[in-house]
Amino acid sequence: MSDTILKADGLKKHFHLGGGFMAETKLVRAVDGVSIEVRRGETFAIVGESGCGKSTLARLLMRLLEPTEGAIEFEGRDIAGIRGRDLRELRRDMQFVFQDPFSSLNPRMSVGKLVGEPIETHRPGLSRAQRRQEVARLLSTVGLRPEHADRYPHEFSGGQRQRIGIARALASNPRLVIGDEPVSALDVSVQAQVVNLLHDLKSELDMTLVIIAHDLAVIRHMSDRVAVMYLGQVVESGPTDEIFANPRHPYTMALLSAIPEAAHGRARTRLALSGETPSPAAPPSGCRFHTRCPFAREDCATRIPELGAATQESRVACHYWQEIAADRPAAGLTPAAGLSEGAQRRFALYEAATQATTPHPRTAANAEA
Amino acid sequence: MAVFLIYRLVRLQIICHQSCIGLRMGSAMVPGRIVDEGDRRDMDRPLLQVEKLKFRFRGQSQDVVEDISFRVGRNETLCIVGESGCGKSVTALALMGLLPRDSVRFGSGEIRFDGESFAPSDHDRIAAMRGDRMAMIFQEPMTSLNPAFRIGDQIAEAVEQHRKCGKAKARERAVEMLRRVGIPAPEQRMGEYPHQLSGGMRQRVMIAMALANDPELLIADEPTTALDVTVQAQILELIAELQAETGMGTIMITHDLGVVAEIATDVAVMYAGQVVEYGPAEAIFNDPQHPYTIGLMASVPSLTGPRRRLSTVPGSVPGIGQMPEGCRFSSRCPFAAPVCASRPDLAEIAPGHRAACHFAPLDQRLERRA
Ligand SMILES: Nc1ncnc2c1ncn2[C@@H]1O[C@H](COP(=O)(O)OP(=O)(O)OP(=O)(O)O)[C@@H](O)[C@H]1O
Ligand SMILES: Nc1ncnc2c1ncn2[C@@H]1O[C@H](COP(=O)(O)OP(=O)(O)O)[C@@H](O)[C@H]1O
Ligand code: SF4
Ligand code: SF4
Ligand SMILES: [Mg+2]
Ligand SMILES: [Mg+2]
């Protein structure tokens, strides 16, 4: 059964820029007509390059921003215009994890206060002692120790701070968590710890996860379905495996072929893009990608492509995706030539040893303090 | 803090830049590749060789970089890879003579550039080569570009100082370099200020400025980390093209193993101020030996093949002053044993491939131990 937990329809957010006395105002179309559906229990990913509107979309979905136009439904209820009590309730059911573990935590609050604060807001019935207990439970859920409650954010590493941010998000027992680049600021070895943690929490706590990222490898690893954004719009969406194996939109193809993969000597055909993303204040006419698209034809500059069904599960916004697919072999990635036999044994030894020394990934963070 | 520091360092560089006199007078001032005196192109001699570089900052109880050695040949790209704080940037700054003199203490080390030997503390002699025979580009282009001056003037000035050519010639070279790095309508762009350009364009301008004097060595410190992948691909391609054309040696500093796989001829893996594994790129990727290299690679989610739970490197990098004695990786290494309290040598495992681990090669030593 695919039950929709969160749905956006024709969502837009336009910002006015500049416009001092006598100055011309510019309209920044940060999100410009996005429709997505997130299913209960899945991990849904939003991917795209800097400035394409990912964070703005996330803030709209969370109702941290008010949409210029369009509808948002959470569990079948329209939330685009709610305020006051309804909004507070929404904040309980839907939580946010930020990118930057360094600036998103108030440095003057102890970890106990940081995690206790949302408990106090969303579950005011709890006594002080119950709250302390709940903080301790949440800290161990994210792989920290109850004693950490008395320490301050600066005493923790980046990965640990991100765990604190996650504990805060979990405090209200949300049904949906939106992470805006939740692992992007972390070093890869620590990123892997947090990726595993999110994965475990999701299945244990029965949550739905919306992950925003620009790192396609992280997206592929974590998500069930994905939406690819370009200049404020979704250009392709569908099951992650399908899109990675067989991208249909030229932008998705270019994005996938541009990622350098950590494997030696893989032959690849790169679909190079010229130039950079145009400004969302002056999006190109017709297909917004036509200024950089290697397959663009004349009418792409005037005709706007709709996000239409490509298969039962996936959608693409390109006039010519069928012709492009017919002319090209599948543009997905192929695995690299392998490791030496000795190296394979070394990787196996490493994995066995890390599991032996850290029986559960959550205890990984305990090891250091 | 760190940002401020780098800013100061670079200001310093610009000041030095303005006061130093170009060493190379013999180069002909023609657009395109400048032909060098043949004797500098001795192929057996590495362009740059660093031996046992070791230093700490004043007031610190441990070295920030400990006995690191590597070499770079012409036409080669050495990638220095490691996670944040492992000492990549300070190593680059040391090679450029850009560390703050009064707060750095060199313990040992020798830098041989094209056969000529320098002590790392010999800032003045190193400074004389900077901007001319060797050049550096940074993650944040605004560390090298001055926001108050037109980009054309900035590039032309760098050329004029080192080449001692006239203004007109220098401007010609600036236009040519802008064209070379793929900036459309370079004549018009010459008159623009850095803030009028996008991030990718600024990166190109910085590359144009760094390469305007045809350096023999380019040090690039995370030049694409702040860029989108499609723009990153363009910039990496550009650097590779320019390298193929001029034969310069390149040191690319990055934390991204993907970038390394793409461009490296050789790789130095750094952890906590030490080179823990060193060798040809193919050996590092297909036959990694050091537990940290293995952990790092296993932590990267794959773009192809089945999805499996990620391996991790437990814990995080200890701060300076809290590094364990001996093998600095021992506080996070799943194979650590009492012997790891003594420092392992960076020992040769196969020709040209070195790893600093008491148990390398793990598959033979550990399976026996088990
Ligand atoms: N409050 C605002 N006022 C004006 N413009 C804004 C505002 N917030 C965002 N924008 C603009 O909207 C566009 C989309 O921004 P957004 O932050 O959503 O991008 P993003 O996809 O999250 O990018 P990144 O990957 O860099 O985080 C950008 O051009 C941005 O400059
Ligand atoms: N001028 C300085 N004084 C004291 N410590 C410094 C200075 N510059 C860098 N460091 C420290 O040296 C270490 C290595 O830094 P850096 O080379 O910038 O790391 P990387 O580039 O690998 O991320 C860090 O712990 C950093 O805080
Ligand atoms: S509609 Fe035209 S310009 Fe747009 S992606 Fe398709 S081919 Fe390219
Ligand atoms: S020397 Fe010991 S601690 Fe260091 S990497 Fe090898 S096994 Fe691990
Ligand atoms: Mg964002
Ligand atoms: Mg650095």
What CATH number did the domain enclosing A54 receive?
3.40.50.300
Res A22 pLDDT > 90: no
Measured between its terminal Cα atoms, the distance across chain A in Å is: 44
Tell which A residues from 308 to 367 touch B, by Cβ distance under 8 Å: 333-340, 342-343, 345-347, 349-351, 353-354, 356-358, 361, 364-365, 367
In a domain, A178, yes or no: yes
Range of the domain at B271: 1-144+216-306
Contact A143, A364 (CB under 8 A): yes
CA B278, B282, B286 angle in degrees (round to 5)?
Answer: 95
Please identify which residue in the block is written with the tokens 């392992």.
Answer: B344
Residue A138's contacts (CB-CB under 8 Å, 6 or more residues apart) are: A115, A167, A170, A171
Lowest mean pLDDT among A110-114, A118-122, A193-197, A363-367: A363-367
Nearest-angstrom CA–CA distance, B156 and A259? 34
Chain A residues closer than 8 Å to B262 by CB: 260
Res B9 pLDDT > 70: no
Q: Is the pTM of this model over 0.90?
A: no
In a domain, B160, yes or no: no
Element (H, E) at B233: helix B229-246
Amino acid at residue number A189: S
In a 3-state reduction of DSSP, which class is residue A136?
helix
Task: Provide the number of structural domains found in chain B.
Answer: 1
Chain A residues closer than 8 Å to B222 by CB: none
Predicted confidence band of residue B43 (pLDDT cuts 50, 70, 90): low
Lateral strand order in the sheet of A315-316: A94-97, A176-180, A208-213, A43-47, A225-230, A233-239, A315-316, A308-309
Contact A12, A66 (CB under 8 A): no
Task: For residue B335, give the ligand 4 atom closest to its CA.
Answer: 7
From B257, B296, B312, residue closest to A193, measured CB to CB? B312
- Smallest CA–CA distance, residue A253 to chain B, in Å, is 11
**Max alpha carbon distance in chain A (Å)?**
71
Nearest-angstrom CA–CA distance, A209 and B331? 33
In a domain, B169, yes or no: no
Task: Provide the number of structural domains found in chain A.
Answer: 1
In a domain, B165, yes or no: no
Percent of chain B with pLDDT over 70: 87
Residue-level pLDDT at A279: 87
In a domain, A266, yes or no: no
In a domain, B245, yes or no: yes
CA of B223 relative to ligand 6 center, distance in Å: 10
CA of A70 relative to ligand 3 center, distance in Å: 25
Mean pLDDT of the region A34-60? 95
Res B4 pLDDT > 90: no
In a domain, B190, yes or no: no
Chain A residues closer than 8 Å to B200 by CB: 276
Please identify which residue in the block is written with the tokens 């309290």.
Answer: B341
Percent of chain B with pLDDT over 90: 64
- Return the CA Rg of chain B: 21
Interchain CB contact of A158 with B (< 8 Å): yes
Lowest mean pLDDT among A244-258, A317-331, B216-230, B281-295: A317-331
Res A337 pLDDT > 80: no
* Closest-approaching ligand to the CA atom of A327: 3
Is B301's CB within 8 Å of A272's CB?
no
Mean pLDDT of the region A355-367? 51
How many CB atoms are closer than 10 A to CB A294? Answer: 12
Chain B residues closer than 8 Å to A260 by CB: 229, 232-233, 236, 256, 258-259, 261-262
Residue-level pLDDT at B35: 39
pLDDT digits (tens, 9 = 90+) for A152-204: 999 888 889 999 999 999 999 999 999 999 998 888 988 999 999 999 999 89
Nearest-angstrom CA–CA distance, B166 and B159? 9
In a domain, A20, yes or no: no
pLDDT digits (tens, 9 = 90+) for A297-336: 999 999 999 999 999 999 999 999 999 998 876 666 665 6
Range of the domain at A220: 41-66+82-229
In a domain, A26, yes or no: no
Element (H, E) at A222: helix A216-222
Res B63 pLDDT > 70: yes
Mean pLDDT of the region B191-198? 90
CA of A95 relative to ligand 2 center, distance in Å: 35
Please identify which residue in the block is written with the tokens 């946010």.
Answer: A96
Res B10 pLDDT > 70: no
CATH (domain of B24): 3.40.50.300
Residue-level pLDDT at A364: 41
Q: What residues pack around ion ligand 6 (CB closer than 5 A)?
A: B 89
In a domain, B131, yes or no: yes
Q: How many CA atoms lie within 13 A of A72 on its CB side?
A: 24
In a domain, B359, yes or no: no
Residue-level pLDDT at B209: 93
From B297, B314, B363, residue closest to A354, measured CB to CB? B314
Helix residue ranges, H only, A71-215: 84-93, 111-122, 128-141, 158-170, 188-205
Tell me the sheet residues that pair with B266: B78, B280
